Amino acid sequence: MRSAGSKKFTAQFSKSRVPIRVNLQLFADSQKTEKATPKRRKDARKKGQVLYSREISSALVLLFVFLTIKALKEFIYNQTSALFRASMNLAINFNASSINEIMGLLGLTMLQLLKIVGPFFAVSLVAGVGSSYAQVGSLFTTEPLKPKLSRINPINGVKRIFSLRGLIELLKAILKIIIIGVVAWKSIQAETNNIARLMNLDLLQAAGYIVSTSINVAIKICLCMVAIAVLDFLYQWWQYERDLRMTKQEVKEEYKETEGNPETKQRIRSKMREISTRRMLSEVPKADVVITNPTHYAVAILYDADKAPAPVVIAKGQDYIAMRIKEVAKEHGVEIVENREVAQALYKNVEIGQQIPPELYQAVAEILAFVYRLKGKAPAQA
């Protein structure tokens, strides 16, 4: 048995309870269960929202640059030596009175420098542009350059830092540092014996060995970076598809924008059917005969030998439309003949405005002959 004080406390506590409000926007992403439509993807592309991994481009640029250095190291050595000699000549022969000679030496120096830097610039340009084009394709948009207040909002900045994307970027940076350290350490361990022999080599040979070893280590690191870039591309693809996902309501709204409101389209179709039916019924008074099922089908036939070699279906309908065709036929004195087989065959196999098929010539001819006899009209001659 609870005491009176306990009951009083419980009653006061119940009155003082504050309802808990949950912001459903925190779970908005869970509502986006639908894949992006082609229109959504097209609109996102126009805004510059595309599948792109910077890691792919940077890793490939570095890899091709170091491969170029490895392939052209003899050429680079010769051109660097020539550049050094040209610079020394420029310093030794510097004379303010011989400005033309100075300009010639300066031009030669710049040419040698261009020969050294040019291949790396070309390789970097081709690798960077090629990798970007392979991922994005041909796209030019100024949308990402437009100023947005959300970009300078410090709260949004903090959210980005502590978001899943920020965590992935941190993990990539840590992984790069670990890989560089491990590859460099393993390479040094593998070259321990050769490093000990450097004391027996002259300066140029030692420098050549150090440069070659450094290039090989750099290439190994770049290959590891390419592997990381592939993983990053897969993550970027997952994030891109996740960002483009839509709610069911968004899909419905987009459908309304592109295809039109379903109710409106239904009204338009109904109106068009009504106009088509009215136009078809206006042709019934011209018919020679209306062949019926008798209740479900009605087909109006016109035979004018001057215009067509065979009778033509000028109107047909089922159920309510069949009833309207019979009503119009009665109003204008058009004969109505019941023939279940012929009516069904004409309705199912002959479109409005088409001639009847040869297999129905005999049956329709007998019906027309019957109608002509009733009206005392001579049969038309083909």
pLDDT of residue 274: 83
Domain-located, residue 34: no
Closest by CA position to 57, among listed 137, 144, 139, 125: 125
Same domain, residue pair 66 and 163:
yes
Tell me, yes or no, whether 328 lies in a domain. Answer: yes
Check whether residue 77 and residue 220 sit in a common domain: yes
User: Is there a single domain that holds both residue 64 and residue 206?
Assistant: yes
Q: Are 355 and 302 in contact (CB under 8 A)?
A: no
286 is a domain residue: yes
Q: Say if residue 187 is in the same domain as residue 62.
A: yes
Q: Identify whether residues 81 and 179 lie together within a single domain.
A: yes
What Å distances lie between residue 364 and 33, 258, 263, 289, CA to CA?
Answer: 59, 48, 42, 10
Entry field: residues in the chain = 382
Q: Are residues 175 and 58 in the same domain?
A: yes
Does residue 6 lie within any of the structural domains?
A: no
What is the count of structural domains for the chain?
A: 2
Residue 77 inside a domain? The answer is yes
Phi and psi dihedrals of 319, rounded to 5? 55, -110
Q: What is the domain range of residue 304?
A: 282-375
Looking at residue 20, its pLDDT comes to 46
Note the pLDDT of residue 318. Answer: 87
Q: Is residue 380 part of a domain?
A: no
Residues 228, 328 within the same domain: no
CATH number at 327 reads 3.40.1690.10
Task: From first to last of the 382 residues of the chain, give the pLDDT tens digit.
Answer: 455 554 554 455 455 454 545 444 444 455 778 888 888 888 888 887 888 888 899 999 999 999 998 888 888 888 888 777 767 776 676 665 566 766 776 777 788 788 888 888 999 999 989 988 888 877 766 665 566 555 565 665 556 556 777 788 888 889 889 988 898 888 888 877 777 777 777 777 777 888 888 888 899 999 999 998 998 899 889 988 988 888 888 888 877 776 666 676 777 788 888 888 888 888 888 888 999 987 788 999 998 888 888 899 989 888 888 899 889 888 888 888 888 888 888 888 888 888 888 888 888 888 888 888 887 765 554 4
Q: Which pTM was predicted?
A: 0.54
Q: Choose one of 191, 224, 245: the last residue of a domain.
A: 245
Dist CA 350 CA 316 (whole Å): 9
**Same domain, yes or no, for 219 and 297?**
no
Q: For residue 25, is it within any domain?
A: no
Residue at 86 is within a domain:
yes
Instruction: State the first-to-last Cα distance of the chain, in angstroms, to the nearest integer.
Output: 109
pLDDT attached to residue 150:
56
Q: For position 67, what pLDDT does the model report?
A: 93
Q: What pLDDT was estimated at residue 123?
A: 92
